[in-house]
Amino acid sequence: MAAAISHEQLIALANEFGTPLYVYHADRIQEQYHKLLSAFEGADVRFFYAAKALTNINILRYIKETGCQVDCSSVNEAKLALHAGFAPEHILYTSNNVSFDEICEAQSLGIHINIDSLSNLRKFGQKFGHAYPVGIRLRPNIMAGGNLKISTGHADSKFGIPLENLQEVLELVKETNLFIRTLHIHTGSEIKDVDIFIKGLDVLFDLVPRFPELEVIDLGGGFKVPYQPGEEGTDIPALGKKIKEAFTVFREKTGRHLQVWFEPGKYMVSECGYFITKVNVLKPAVNAVFAGVDSGLNHLIRPMFYGSYHVIENISNPQGAPRVYNVVGNICETDTFAENRTLPEVREGDYLVFLNAGAYCFEMSSHYNSRFKPAEVLVKDGNAKLIRKRDELSDLLRGQME
């Protein structure tokens, strides 16, 4: 495993670039990708990094260098991917509830498209007929994922075309002569249970006979990585083994060879990220002490948005006596990062680091309270490079008409 970035290095980076600061460890990203490749060795598989987890152009370029492809949630992400140098055929666009205009724009870029509504599928068929192969995002009615907010494949989810609409899909495919190349599902995030993927795969395998031109089964992303101490992520080698077996059996039974695609986001970049904050003030709380840091839900909203847990380390005083803290932000909202968290004694001025801060962290940041977004640094082969400068006042005024 790539050695983690040491406390000393993190402190040096915080001193050099200031806080709050996002630090990403490139070697760790490559390592994750290689774990996927080795688990799926021998399979006809493609991985598309779900760019929405972290879109800094330097990260996208690095991911491209590793050989991984890219999955986009918006046409703008697709344009960023092109800007980063990805070839159109290595870009996948899996949208939800977008306008038909945006889908046409994606089509004009020459990228792979998964469509997630009957109405857009119909319009696509009417406009492009058989000329442009396309994927269908289905809602498989499977409950999966770390919590309801990050579950996307269940029967009450807004994502995908419900399986119940299969007949309508088949009719309009016939009517408009659509070329259905891909069947896609993405059932949620933080799916630990390997069998959930197999269950989804079985749903899609059952549909294959209805789509004679099908070439690809796209099982989406959602691999779990450990966030809490002692937690385990998705068993990727076991997943690789089971998926390979399932495809082999399917080919032997039906004579049809299909490629399998995945769209990992968190798995690729969660663990590469460190978010360094500085403690501004300490205050008494009822059963703990508030440690108020120089950040808040404007920079890292996952704990407040869906109760996510991030390990926090006091890198300035790692040997301090353990005490209990509520780690909170400086935004005029109740922005609690962690409650009743035992940390080595925290002093004003200490650096607190949040782990697993690569995926959906900077990416969900905002200018709320007119605070600046943090700087971002990429560490590669031991060298640190500033990949986004800290905001300044002009960034808050940009676009406003005076």
By CB under 6 A, tell whether 139 contacts ligand PLP. Answer: no
List the beta bridge partners of residue 284.
289
Which residue of 32, 73, 182, 187 would you call a contact of ligand PLP, by CB under 6 A?
A: 73
Least Å from the CB of residue 189 to ligand PLP? 3
Nearer to ligand PLP, 233 or 320 (CB): 233
3-class SS of residue 146: coil
Which residue of 32, 55, 94, 316 would you call a contact of ligand PLP, by CB under 6 A?
A: 94
Binding-residue pattern over the window 183 to 222 for ligand PLP, x denoting contact by CB under 6 A: ---x--x------------------------------xxx
Least Å from the CB of residue 34 to ligand PLP? 17
By CB under 6 A, tell whether 182 contacts ligand PLP. Answer: no
The closest residue (CB) to ligand PLP is 265
Nearer to ligand PLP, 54 or 327 (CB): 54
Distance CA 271, CA 23 (A): 11
Whole-Å CA distances, 209 to 51, 203, 215, 347: 32, 12, 12, 64
Q: Total binding residues for ligand PLP by CB under 6 A?
A: 18
By CB under 6 A, tell whether 50 contacts ligand PLP. Answer: yes
Write down how long the chain is.
402
190 contacts 222 by C-beta, under 8 angstroms: yes
By CB under 6 A, tell whether 134 contacts ligand PLP. Answer: no
By CB under 6 A, tell whether 116 contacts ligand PLP. Answer: no
Residue of 68, 104, 272, 332 marked active site: 332
Of 247, 294, 297, 239, the C-alpha closest to 267 is 239
Beta strands in 192-302 (DSSP E): 216-218, 259-262, 273-284, 289-293
Which residue of 71, 77, 350, 376 would you call a contact of ligand PLP, by CB under 6 A?
A: 71
By CB under 6 A, tell whether 356 contacts ligand PLP. Answer: no
Task: Tell me how crowded residue 108 is: count the other CB atoms within 10 A of its CB.
Answer: 9
124 contacts 164 by C-beta, under 8 angstroms: no
Q: Which positions ≥6 away from 206 have C-beta within 8 Å? A: none
For residue 304, count CB atoms less than 10 angstroms from its CB and return exposed for 0-12, middle for 13-18, buried for 19 or more.
Answer: middle
By CB under 6 A, tell whether 316 contacts ligand PLP. Answer: no
Q: HEC string of 319-359?
A: CCCEEEEEEECCCCCCCEEEEEEEEECCCCCCEEEECCCCC
What sign has the CA pseudo-torsion 330, 334, 336, 339?
A: positive
Q: Letter for the amino acid at 246?
A: A
Binding-residue pattern over the window 230 to 269 for ligand PLP, x denoting contact by CB under 6 A: ---------------------------------xxxxx--
Catalytic status, residue 68 = no
By CB under 6 A, tell whether 52 contacts ligand PLP. Answer: yes
Least Å from the CB of residue 240 to ligand PLP? 16
- Residues binding ligand PLP (CB under 6 A): 50, 52-53, 71, 73, 94, 186, 189, 220-223, 263-267, 359
Catalytic residue numbers, as ranges: 332
